[in-house]
Each structure stands twice: as structure tokens, then as C-alpha cells.
Amino acid sequence: METTLRGVGVSHGVAIGEVRHMGTAVLEPPAKQIPTEEAEREQGRARQAVEAVAADLMARGNLAGGEAQAVLEAQALMAQDPELIADVERRIAVGSTAERAVYDAFAAYRDLLAGAGEYFAGRVADLDDVRNRIVARLLGVPMPGVPDSDEPYVLVARDLAPADTALLDPTLVLGFVTEEGGPTSHSAILARALGVPAVVALPGAVELAEGTVIAVDGSTGEIFVNPGEEKKAQLEAAAAERRAALASATGPGATSDGHKVPLLANIGGPADVAAALEAGAEGVGLFRTEFLFLDDDKNAPSEEKQVATYRQVLEAFPEGRVVVRVLDAGADKPLGFLTPADEPNPALGVRGLRTLLEHPEVLRTQLSALAKAAEGLPVYLEVMAPMVADRTDARAFADACRDAGLRAKFGAMVEIPSAALRARSVLQEVEFLSLGTNDLAQYTFAADRQVGAVSRLQDPWQPALLDLVAIAAEAARAEGKSCGVCGEAASDPLLACVLTGLGVTSLSMGAASLPHVRATLAKFTLAQCERAAAAARAAESADEARGAAQAVLSGE
């Protein structure tokens, strides 16, 4: 019997295949005591397992490259956290086995995160994955993970750890469905980078029986269980139509009446450049620089290393626009040498620009490296600060840029509602705005961007979020300056039209989404986009906003 379920579509495309479930999680080790004389040997086993898992995660990151590499390197640092290792060794010293000590130490850390209001909840899946890998190695059992199969399938899981998602084989994994997660979770971002259709936050996903045939529509979020031949034909026809539209859409981003909307790429480092160029990116709208700082939890990278890395990216876009975000540390991206370990609410504490202003030498080195990397190149370099709250923040960043001798445009990310509401004030100090819709939604709705239970509030179609985008875009227009979107909202083709109608001047997204957005924008005039934006803002919910915009653009 054919039934329809609905989750959150996070990666475009259609996949039809049999369900295969993620490998079973590691069982809880028995709580048996060991003699005191075995403690040292058990501590050695624990250290070896931790180092082996960290090395494996780093190796997976090197293979995956790009954004996945930064995520997996962060997981490796999590595995090697000195406080966690010290806790493991303390537990072994009083009689626990290595595997039980690891299990209990990670459980305590997990409880600590939950007790902090779940601001770190988005990393719980990552933490559980690290624990499972260490315990599996100690027990000598297979690692939990992607199932072995000679035939293509649709992967179903409660959640997917980055280590699994990063190395999915698209020739075997047709698509994936998870019960947890949200549109801005690590797995969603990596799915888009891979071009694998994906749906997250689907209630009861893990109850789908092994071998059941399902059709996954990563654009609408719909899951069709036991689809009939007619439904399969409809989905395959729609997918073919989308592919044809993608192939026919080339060149710079623009509406059908010629209103230019530059389409830029979000990248995590030089490894992402090739895909961006292949997808026709007109430049880089968000160059995340965090990956450079993950190699060493105790020291920032040298200026020389930074110069070499930045120059690789800048050289790839001659006479193009490259927007670099300076280090965004804190909250879900802690760094031992920068961020405090005892903040009660890390996402509301010292993060982003606040961290850099407390450590001006780190900011000064990064800005100096960017200045040197751009020397002699025709690239249009722009540099922006994360987590700008007000004009005082914007002025402090602009002053730091000037002091470093940086010849570039200085900008501010709008991720905090106050920056959107007071955008004209912020623009007195900087030359452009870039809306990070992932964090802007998180702070607008007090809804952690990684928690599936609040994913409806992370939906970028929420009218309140669209209101903030409109306010920022109008402020930029009034000041004669630009206002782009670099959050995941830009990767939704329909929403890209609405953002254009709201007055956004550029859109930046993962490379895999660029053709979809380019093709959709080219179908509609600016006036149609503006009417769709007005209809979406007049709605009362995200679903209503999406439906209203769709109705306007489809001529209903």
C-alpha cells in the first residue's frame, strides 16, 4: 500500500530504492571491575584506541576534502580532548575496563552538554559517533556505519555522523533519510556537497522496514513508501525535467528580464574550488577559514601558512569576487587556545568576532595574511566578521582591517537579529552585509540549528526570518551598499527567488546547488520574485509562505 510521509528536504533530487539501515550502534560494555595491577595496561589500551580513531577520522577527512575535512578534523580533536582522556584514565584507575571507562566518560560529557541547555546539542551525534568508534575498537567488533551492499539502496538512520556522510559512495547510496537532524546540520550540508538526495527530521524513519521500496524527493521532503508505477513515473519525469533545466541554464545568475543576481560559492578551503568553478560560480560568497585552525588545538596557524592557503583560493578567481569570513570560533567550533571551556551558554557567549577582539593578535595575523595573499592579484577581495551585533562591533572590525593595511572591502555578517534591525547603523562602518541565515534563524527563534525537534523553527521560510532579511536588504539599498545571503537558505531555488524579491543582491551556496538556483531564477522576472516575496511575508507559517510563493510563481 502506497503511503506518503513528510520530513525536511535538504538536498535536491529524487531517489528510488530499497531501505538499508545504518549499522547497529555499539552495545553498552559490561560494568566489570579489573584488578589494580591491570589499570596501567587498560589505560594504554584506551590511549591507543583514541589515537587510532582520531587518525582514522583525519584520514577520512583528507580523502573527503572540502567542508567534510573540517568537520572530521573537529571530530578528531573531540576524540583527543585532554579532559575526556583524563576522565577515562581516572575511571580506569578505580577499576573500570578501558571500554567501560570510555563509555561512561563520554556519557558524562553528553549529560553536561544537555545540562547546558543543548546549545551543543548539534554535536551530540558527533560525540556519540566518536564514542562508538573508540568502544568498537576496544571490543574488537566492526565499526558502526554504512551497510555493505552490492546493490544501490536508500540509507535510513536515526542520524548520520559526519564520518559516515563524508565518504558515502553516490553510486551505491541513492539517497538518505534520517529521523533527526535539520536543514543546517552537518549531514545536510555534506549531502548537498555530494549531490545526494536527502530528507531529514522524518518522524519514524527508523521504523521503515529493511528492504522496503521508498521514493525520496529531496526537494519537497516527501517520502513515498511502496510507490506504485504511476508515482515512480511521475517522480522520474519530474527529475528528468529538472536535469534538462539544469543543463540549459548557463552563465551569470539573472532573472528572466535580466536583473543580475551574482551566484557565488560557499567553500571551506582550496579543495572546494574545483567544484565551485565547474558549477559556474561567479566567485566565493563565503570562504570559511576555520579549517586552517583545526590542525593544532593549542596554536593558531602561522602567517606564512595562512598566506599560502588564501592565495590558492584568490588565484582561482581572477577578477572575481572572493568574500572571506575571518575565524568564527566558539560555540560549536571551540578551539583550545581561544575559547573558554566553562561558558554556561557557549552560543550566547564569547564567539565569532567577540573571540577575535579578545585575542587581537589572532585577528591581526589573519588580516595581515589576507593582505599579503591578495598582493598583485586582480581579485576583488572582501573580508567580513562573523557575529556582529551592532555598530560598535562593526567599527572595531573595520578599524582592525585598516590597522592591518588590508586593501579590501570590509563587511559584517548578519546572524544576530540586532544587526538586522539596526542594519543602517552597522552600514555606517562597513561596506556590505552578508546574511548568515542558519544562525540568524537560530537566534531569532531560540532554536538550536542542529536539533531535529525544533527543525520547523529552523526553516528559512519562516516569515519572521524573511522580515529580518527584508529589513537588512532595504537598509543596504538605502545606503547604496550590497546585501548578500550566504546561509543555506540561498540553496533553495524557490527561496532564492523570494530572497531576490526581498532585495538581496547576491546568493552564495554549496557548489552542487548553483545549477538548480541558476535555472530557477532564469524562469521568472524580478517583478514576479517581488510578488512572491510579498506573499511569503504575508503568510503565518513557513509552510504557508512556501505555498504562497509557489502559487505566485506558478501563476495560480
* Catalytic residue ranges: 186, 486
State how far the Cα of 67 lies from the Cα of 72, in Å rounded to an integer: 9
Pairing of strands 506-509, 380-385: unpaired
Give the cell for residue 316.
582561482
Q: What does residue 33 show for φ and ψ, rounded to 5 degrees? A: -90, 150
Pairing of strands 432-435, 409-414: parallel
The answer to whether 289 touches 326, Cβ cutoff 8 Å, is yes
The answer to whether 135 touches 102, Cβ cutoff 8 Å, is yes
* CA angle at 449 for the pair 159 and 145, rounded to the nearest 5°: 15
The answer to whether 304 touches 328, Cβ cutoff 8 Å, is no
Sheet holding 222-225, edge to edge: 3-6, 222-225, 213-217, 14-21, 153-157, 173-178, 198-200, 8-11
Beta-bridged to residue 121, according to DSSP, are none
Listed in order, strand segments (DSSP E) in 313-445 are 321-325, 380-385, 409-414, 432-435
Give the cell for residue 186.
552537518
Give the cell for residue 553.
510563481
Q: Is the dihedral of CA 482, 488, 492, 493 positive or negative?
A: positive
Start-to-end CA span in the chain (Å): 32
State how far the Cα of 14 lies from the Cα of 354, in Å rounded to an integer: 42
310, amino acid identity? Y
Q: Is the dihedral of CA 209, 210, 213, 216 positive or negative?
A: positive
The answer to whether 188 touches 52, Cβ cutoff 8 Å, is no
Give the cell for residue 239.
527529475
The answer to whether 22 touches 160, Cβ cutoff 8 Å, is yes
Q: What value does the CA radius of gyration of the chain take, rounded to a whole number of Å?
A: 24
213, with CB counted inside 10 A (0-12, 13-18, 19+), is middle
Give the cell for residue 265.
560559492
Q: What does residue 221 show for φ and ψ, rounded to 5 degrees? A: 85, 5
